Structure 1
Amino acid sequence: MNDSDAEFPVAPPTPLKGRGAVTNLQGRYELDQREAFDDGWAEEEGESPRLRTQVFEERAKSILTRNSSPDIPFGVSLNPYRGCEHGCIYCFARPTHSYLGLSPGLDFESHLYAKVNAPELLRRELAKKSYVPEPIALGVNTDAYQPIERELRLTRRIIEVLYEHGHPFAAITKSSLIERDIDLLAPLAARSLVMAAITITTLDAEIARTLEPRAATPSRRLRTIRALSEAGIPVGVSIAPVIPFVTEPDLERVLEACAEAGATSASYIVLRLPWEVAPLFKDWLAAHFPDRAERVMARVRDMRGGKDYDASFAHRMKGEGVWADLIKQRFRKAVKRLGLNERQNGILDMSQFKSPSPHDKPSPQLSLF
């Protein structure tokens, strides 16, 4: 077998500080083939070149994405950004950068696109006579509270539109920046118009640092759960993904810590490796966990019908087989013991929605027409 056919690289690239992917794997739609070549101008040994984050403005044509997948608990989602600086190696959205002619690897976390007209597009969508309100999932593909949101404030402006018109939504993030918007979220929660979920994969800060390099630390996310809960905002934990032999041993401890912090609901998803995520994840394993890389992938395939990934609705979120069933049993027992998922606080009220006037503008001044 040639080196190029090996599942794991013989000499994995040196990880870049603060980045998840260890390569800039070619996207599946690129026509030109690229190959790394040492021309003698490499950095000195032991030095990692810095990779600067670039943000590009995008004027989107639409802002709401609809799906009818039976294994997804929402029908409408909104994502203000494409690409995500958090750099989570497992992110199922990485392959979407291939559509832009970019790499799902380092490009995904360093070439970001901000949909600068998202709030205006949302207002226009809500004003349509044909619009029927249903809860919007905010920040599902890429995190709506990733670092660039601190300056761009697109998510904040989107929430202001939803607030103004009494529209229900759910926000999922692994960033503490969501605390900035408690002044909007708390009154919305009092009207049953919002719920939040914080993603926590592990309590091990060292694992999280390589797995989700620019996201908040696990301890900081627990503090965010507490802050949201104390503000009266229904908050749950999303353990996504569960990675065998990496984050999976932490399953019960994560649930216990989140319940203690004030979470009232919990969910989990088993590691998904669609398209380019599979080779990117294997390179990451070889770089950070060479001692267990083969065991991890063997267990993944045990839960995926012998493949790296099974995209069928019946199995893509939870897997199948003995090991998938064992994870399910562990999760259910811990959830029951901790009293999670008992309250009916995930029901959002659609009756308060008030459609914007077609002439409404994001301004405090009254329209003259």
Structure 2
Amino acid sequence: MNEDTEFSQPEPWVDAPLQAIKGRGAVTNLAGRFETQLIETVDDGWASYRDDTCINPALTTSVTAELAKTILSRNQSPDLPFSVSLNPYRGCEHGCVYCFARPSHAYLGLSPGLDFETRLYAKTNAPELLRRELAHRLYQPSPIALGINTDAYQPVERALCITRQCLEVLHECRHPVGIITKSALIERDLDLLKPMADSNLLAAAITITTLDHSIARSLEPRAASPTRRLQTIEKLAQAGIPVLVSVAPVIPFITEQELEKVMQAAASAGATAAGYTVLRLPWEVNPLFQQWLQTHFPDRSQRVMNRIRDMRGGKDYDANFATRMRGEGLWADMIRQRFGRALKRYGLNKSGRFVQLDCSQFRRPQQIPATRSSTGQLDIFG
């Protein structure tokens, strides 16, 4: 072999560039915090020779039937307006990249990223569990928050109707309930919601993060459009249902500038109250959101994170009950003041507290179903 022969050193592999996936919020399947192995996607140089469908294959949604052991969750968090919640599903196809519930998928050995919005679990025995819990002799009624961890009206509900069956139980038992959603599917259940609202047993909150459809498509890819959510507020209000608009989360330099516009549009549609939270980045939500920023808003990603840290005492997130929903410091105070002025300008929150639901009408269910035994989990959709 010629001594003058030159050997070229192979170039080191580099991380594959982040790419948006149509119809999905997260851009990766980030490993959960309990994983013992970490898999990284790298660019081996072949991507340029392959078409886009090979680089980003279409992700399908699967739904696994699950027999839950209990259905009512209780909390003692001082910054939450409810102490009891009900979630018919785990995971959420809406794919909101900022969703605080994403880290819960790590407990299933799944990713809080793309797995959270594509690998869903449906608690098919939720209605019968709810009936049994309400029938317990020691049960004391307290307003139930429906769809807090994941949206109870996400797309799969259209076929499974678990949320509707739970509402039928609550309607029968005259039990107070509050619903929060980003979906127009809630309109399907007006036949149950209206009589409950007429008896002061129900209130609804519609979350509107932005009025910009292009931002919404990447931020909340499979939720109803902002315009459609405003129409939902109008239909609920026309039915006599108290409606609160939740402007959440407020994201600096992304949605922050729309705070007043969202409140004005919601008030015009019929909302009578409003609330807001600033962006929260617990656990895996932090890197997932930063990946989203780098993908969709690389020009301002550092500026956004700097402002978030200004409102979190220099950290990406602070779980302190006193400040986690609203933040602290100069910028958080400015948002709070803007929100307060907008409340007065658009006639929202006139009565102070949104709605005081009535627990005195509660009556225990008469028929108690037998408990189904678990035979394992079964994929009901491919």
TM-score (norm 2): 0.90
Q: Does 1:55 align with 2:63?
A: yes
Map 1:59-208 onto structure 2 (within 5 A): 59-208=67-216
Distance 2:119 2:77 in 1: 29
Alignment match, 1:296: 304
Distance 1:38 1:210 in 2: 24
What amino acid is aligned across from residue 44 of structure 1 in structure 2? Answer: R
Distance 1:189 1:102 in 2: 38
- Structure 2: state its 5+ residue gaps: 1-13, 372-382
Q: Does 1:25 align with 2:35?
A: no
Are 1:244 and 1:296, in contact at CA under 8 Å, matched by a contact in 2? Answer: yes
Are 1:55 and 1:113, in contact at CA under 8 Å, matched by a contact in 2? Answer: yes
Distance 2:16 2:183 in 1: 33
Are 1:318 and 1:324, in contact at CA under 8 Å, matched by a contact in 2? Answer: yes
The size of the alignment, in residue pairs, is: 354
Are 2:15 and 2:42, in contact at CA under 8 Å, matched by a contact in 1? Answer: no
Distance 1:147 1:210 in 2: 17
Shift in Å, 1:33: 2.0
What amino acid is aligned across from residue 19 of structure 2 in structure 1? Answer: T
Counterpart among 234, 252, 264 of residue 242 in structure 2: 234
Counterpart among 35, 40, 63 of residue 40 in structure 2: 35
Distance 1:97 1:360 in 2: 30
What amino acid is aligned across from residue 341 of structure 1 in structure 2? Answer: N
Q: Does 1:284 align with 2:289?
A: no
What amino acid is aligned across from residue 219 of structure 1 in structure 2? Answer: T
Are 1:264 and 1:341, in contact at CA under 8 Å, matched by a contact in 2? Answer: yes
Are 1:12 and 1:283, in contact at CA under 8 Å, matched by a contact in 2? Answer: no
- SS of the residue 2:276 aligns to: strand
Distance 2:45 2:187 in 1: 48
Distance 2:274 2:127 in 1: 30
Are 1:229 and 1:235, in contact at CA under 8 Å, matched by a contact in 2? Answer: yes
Q: Does 1:353 align with 2:349?
A: no
Shift in Å, 1:45: 3.9
Q: Structure 1 residues 36 and 345, CA, compared in 2 at 3 Å: closer, same or farther?
A: closer
Are 2:16 and 2:43, in contact at CA under 8 Å, matched by a contact in 1? Answer: no
Distance 2:86 2:291 in 1: 31
Distance 1:229 1:281 in 2: 34
- SS of the residue 2:197 aligns to: helix
CA deviation digits over 1:180-216, x for unaligned, max 9? 0011000000000000000000000000000000000
Distance 1:358 1:328 in 2: 48
Distance 1:131 1:144 in 2: 23
Distance 1:359 1:207 in 2: 47
- SS of the residue 1:65 aligns to: strand
Shift in Å, 1:49: 1.2
RMSD between superposed Cα atoms in Å: 1.7
Are 2:86 and 2:147, in contact at CA under 8 Å, matched by a contact in 1? Answer: yes
Distance 2:369 2:123 in 1: 20
Shift in Å, 1:12: 3.9
Distance 1:252 1:345 in 2: 19
- SS of the residue 1:299 aligns to: helix
Shift in Å, 1:271: 0.1
Distance 1:109 1:41 in 2: 28
- SS of the residue 1:355 aligns to: coil
Stretches of 4+ aligned residues off by more than 6 angstroms: none
Distance 2:257 2:16 in 1: 28
Shift in Å, 1:79: 0.3
- SS of the residue 2:222 aligns to: coil
Distance 2:107 2:140 in 1: 30
Alignment match, 2:341: 333
Q: Does 1:44 align with 2:47?
A: no
What amino acid is aligned across from residue 273 of structure 2 in structure 1? Answer: S
What amino acid is aligned across from residue 26 of structure 1 in structure 2? Answer: A
Distance 1:44 1:125 in 2: 55
Distance 2:34 2:257 in 1: 37
Identity over aligned residues, as a percent?
66
Alignment match, 1:4: none
Alignment match, 2:10: none
CA deviation digits over 1:4-42, x for unaligned, max 9? xxxxx9864111100000000000011122122457886
Counterpart among 257, 275, 280 of residue 272 in structure 1: 280
Q: Which protein has the larger Cα radius of gyration, Structure 1 or Structure 2? A: 2
Map 1:204-219 onto structure 2 (within 5 A): 204-219=212-227
Distance 1:258 1:187 in 2: 23
Q: Structure 1 residues 244 and 12, CA, compared in 2 at 3 Å: closer, same or farther?
A: farther
Shift in Å, 1:64: 0.4
Counterpart among 241, 249, 254 of residue 257 in structure 2: 249
Are 1:186 and 1:231, in contact at CA under 8 Å, matched by a contact in 2? Answer: yes
